[in-house]
Structure 1
Amino acid sequence: MDEVVNGMAANRLTASWRKSRYSNPNGNCVEVAALRTGEIAMRNSRHPDGPALIYTPAEIAAFIAGVKDGEFDYLIA
């Protein structure tokens, strides 16, 4: 892998993918992986070879803080 770019095929990344233990058994999961570059990749478990979204640690930290604070609760209400 030469360059990590947003939207690249997830199967091109050297990564150890993980999903939440709260995920359901039907494969409707978001998976994340820490990359050697320090960035964090996300993919849809139903499409493991599909595109990966690449985020900086700061972007993920801001998102997680918003989730913990309830900012996105309206999405599943």
Structure 2
Amino acid sequence: MQTYNGMPANSLTGVTWRKSVHSNSTGNCVELAELPDGGVAVRNSRFPDGPALIYTRDEIRALVLGVKDGEFDGLLV
């Protein structure tokens, strides 16, 4: 399967979408799925058939480490 940014998320067959337990009940969540090539797809749970953004593992790792280090705390004001 060839993946690209903006591809329809529903065309990513055979992947398991995961979301945080901190997501709220109205469905305002970001979901992630590991791809067969090692990449990671991201979609908006409110639009599961909408576009998916595709990132490398290193890009997701940098984001997660930045979140853990508090680098994005100012965005949640």
TM-score > 0.5, shorter chain as reference: yes
Normalised TM-score (structure 2): 0.95
Unaligned 5+ runs, structure 2? none
Does residue 34 of the first structure (1) align with residue 34 of the second (2)? yes
Question: Whole-Å Cα distance in 2 between the matches of residues 37 and 52 of structure 1?
Answer: 15
Question: Whole-Å Cα distance in 1 between the matches of residues 57 and 71 of structure 2?
Answer: 19
4+ runs of 1 displaced by more than 3 Å? Answer: none
SS at match of 2:41: strand
Q: Per-residue displacement from partner, 1:9-42 (whole Å, max 9, x unpaired)?
A: 0000021101000000000000000010110000
Aligned-pair identity in percent equals 62
RMSD: 0.7
Unaligned 5+ runs, structure 1? none
- Choose between structure 1 and 2: higher strand proportion: 2
Partner of 1:4: 3
Normalised TM-score (structure 1): 0.95
Question: Whole-Å Cα distance in 1 between the matches of residues 39 and 46 of structure 2?
Answer: 22
